[in-house]
């Protein structure tokens, strides 16, 4: 039985993405999620099942931008700080907060959560979310098909 053209295209695309440099996780990546120090001011009470955490920021061009599993938040556009305050609920991620700025969630890809505080990037949020979702799905197909190395 001959595979269909869309299936071959998907496998070829997944292979290209999976074998591209920078897709593999950093060896010995340090934990990049930090508990807040007692007395740190937070925007609002997270409630019973929530907590505020400080996440390290990884920007495009950093060597770890495409390395997943490190817990860092990927930030696109202008952002001056090295850490960002984000809410985490028992059920998952609840969003990030930066005083005086609007934080736009751009989705979750294989490398991790992507956000922006830059209004220029926020204008393209719907397109970026679709691309992140597509990238995550291709990565998942490649992982489940056994195309990616077992060391991941």
For residue 31, count other CB atoms closer than 10 A to its CB: 9
Question: Who has greater pLDDT, 139 or 54?
Answer: 54
pLDDT in tens, 35-79: 888 888 889 888 888 899 999 999 998 888 887 777 889 999 999
**How far apart are the C-alpha atoms of 128 and 133, rounded to whole Å?**
8
- The b/e string for 67-90 (b: 16+ C-beta within 10 A; e otherwise) is bbebbbbbbbbebeeeebbbbbee
One DSSP character per residue, the chain reads -PPPHHHHHHHHHHHHHHHSTT-SPPTTPPP-EEEPPTT---SS---SSEEEEEEEEE-TTSTTTT--SS-PEEEES----SEEEEEEETTEEEEEEBTTB--EEEEEETTEEEEE--HHHHHTHHHHHHHHHHHHHHHHHHHHTT-S-TT-
pLDDT in tens, 5-25: 554 444 434 333 333 333 333
Q: What is the pTM of this model?
A: 0.70
Length of the chain, please? 152
């Amino acid at each position: 039985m001959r595979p269909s053209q869309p299936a071959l295209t998907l496998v070829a695309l997944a292979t290209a993405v999976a074998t591209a440099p920078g897709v593999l996780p950093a060896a010995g990546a340090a934990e990049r999620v930090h508990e807040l120090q007692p007395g740190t001011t937070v925007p609002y009470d997270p409630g019973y099942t929530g907590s505020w955490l400080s996440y390290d920021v990884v920007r495009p061009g950093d060597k770890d931008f495409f390395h997943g599993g490190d817990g860092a938040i990927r930030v696109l556009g202008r952002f001056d700080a090295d850490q960002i305050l984000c809410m985490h609920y028992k059920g998952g991620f609840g969003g990030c907060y930066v005083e005086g700025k609007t934080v736009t969630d751009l989705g979750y890809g294989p490398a991790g959560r992507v956000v922006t505080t830059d209004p220029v990037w926020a204008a393209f949020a719907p397109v970026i979310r679709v691309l992140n979702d597509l990238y995550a799905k291709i990565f998942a197909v490649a992982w489940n098909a056994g195309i990616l190395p077992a060391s991941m």
